[in-house]
Chains A and B, each alone.
Chain A
Amino acid sequence: MSRPGPAQIGHFDPDTIRRGAIACLPLLPSTIIFGAVLGVLASQRGLSLGELLFMSLTVFAGSAQFVSVDLWRETIPAATIIIATAVINMRYILIGASLRPVFRGRPLWVKVCGMHMVADENWAVTMTQPNLANPGFLLGGGIFLGVVWATGNIAGYLLGGGIPDPEVYALDFAFTAVFAALTIGMWKGKVDLLPWVAAAIGSIIGHYTLPGTWSILAGAGAGVVTAALTWRPDMDDDSLEAEFAVEGRDAYGAPEGTVNTGNTGNRATLSPEAGK
């Protein structure tokens, strides 16, 4: 682990899974409290605890679950709930796409198994790891968050009221804070500036003009369009740097020029896999 050779780190290495779980530890208090709030809501809306846990582990997407449970009635409006879930979770298309370097060169079954436990939080934590961009790390965070989320659900469902109001301890702000902080780790250089400014402006405009989570798509769309428009062929140097990320080594946030040292030979071994 300390000195990875040319061979890739295992797909779901136990040690990497454990590190991924530990990296999500700062999210424990807010995840458990929000899980409990959802548990209370579910008991009021008539879901059984079993149904709620089934949902938490198969859907595994907080904001969509809140909206769905809120829409839940005696006669379940299934179509409305599924459409709402699809709209709220549409950002996962972008999140999935951005995980390409984490899964590059891995077989299909790793992608199939690794993509389920992807929440915003463990995705963001994984994407900002300097050395561990690896499916095991992502899965470790996902399993940790899933267990904590389900534990919160159980506590909230059984306790009913009596759980602290997240706003009092600013626990609702934990998610904003973790994403804001992790943004710093995603900075790869000046090329990010314009797309990021566009994303911020797009999401702010979306926030005031669009309902629900459409602001995420508005911001991401503005960022993507700006990135596409500002691309120049001489920027390809940057994408070369990212190619090395693929191997789970110096992926994100590596200082310019430090990555290429001694690794030039690996490019040749990588290329055939890229065609898969």
Chain B
Amino acid sequence: MTQFPDLTTFSLEAVLTILGMAAVTYGMRLGGLLMADRLPQHGRWAHVLERLPGAVLISVWVPSALSAGVIGIAGAAATVVTMALARNLFAAMAVGMVLVGIGRYFIGI
């Protein structure tokens, strides 16, 4: 490790590794879209594709709420309820985060 912040060194291996990471990531982003373009626009596949964003989103946050423990589950529930009632993203996030912050600070859960 260098003494001073190392700002501008670009080692060949680092650049190649990063380009490899970028290539697989971008390839999957664009590839997913182009594959979906080839699926039928109606019927079963279209129906499945429409359900996909919700399914992905739920699968992203449900496990992370579980990882945050009891307070995480409570915070996620409070966020969902606030959003359903107020339809305001900022308010919903604030309610969940404040609840989690308070829970961690005062109760330690």
Please report A residues at the B interface, Cβ cutoff 8 Å: 26, 43-44, 46-51, 54-55, 58-61, 64, 68, 76, 78, 81-82, 85-86, 89-100, 103, 111-112, 115-116, 118, 120, 124-125, 127, 157-158, 167-188, 191-192, 195-196, 198-200, 202-204, 206-207, 215-220, 222-224, 226-228, 231, 233, 235-236, 238-240, 242-243, 274, 276
Interface size class on chain B is 35 or more
A216 CB, min distance to chain B CBs, angstroms = 5
Please report B residues at the A interface, Cβ cutoff 8 Å: 1-2, 5-11, 13-22, 24-26, 28-37, 39, 41-44, 46-68, 72, 75-76, 79-80, 82-84, 87, 89-90, 92-93, 96-98, 100-101, 104-105
B4 CB, min distance to chain A CBs, angstroms = 10
B47 touches A98 (CB 8 A): no
A50 touches B10 (CB 8 A): yes
Residues of B within 8 A of A120 (CB): 60
- Identity of the chain A residue whose Cβ is nearest the Cβ of B93 in the assembled complex: A177
Residues of B within 8 A of A85 (CB): 20-21, 24-25
**Main secondary structure on A side of the interface with B:** helix
A61 CB, min distance to chain B CBs, angstroms = 5
- Identity of the chain B residue whose Cβ is nearest the Cβ of A56 in the assembled complex: B18
Residues of B within 8 A of A175 (CB): 61, 64
Residues of A within 8 A of B60 (CB): 91, 120, 179, 216
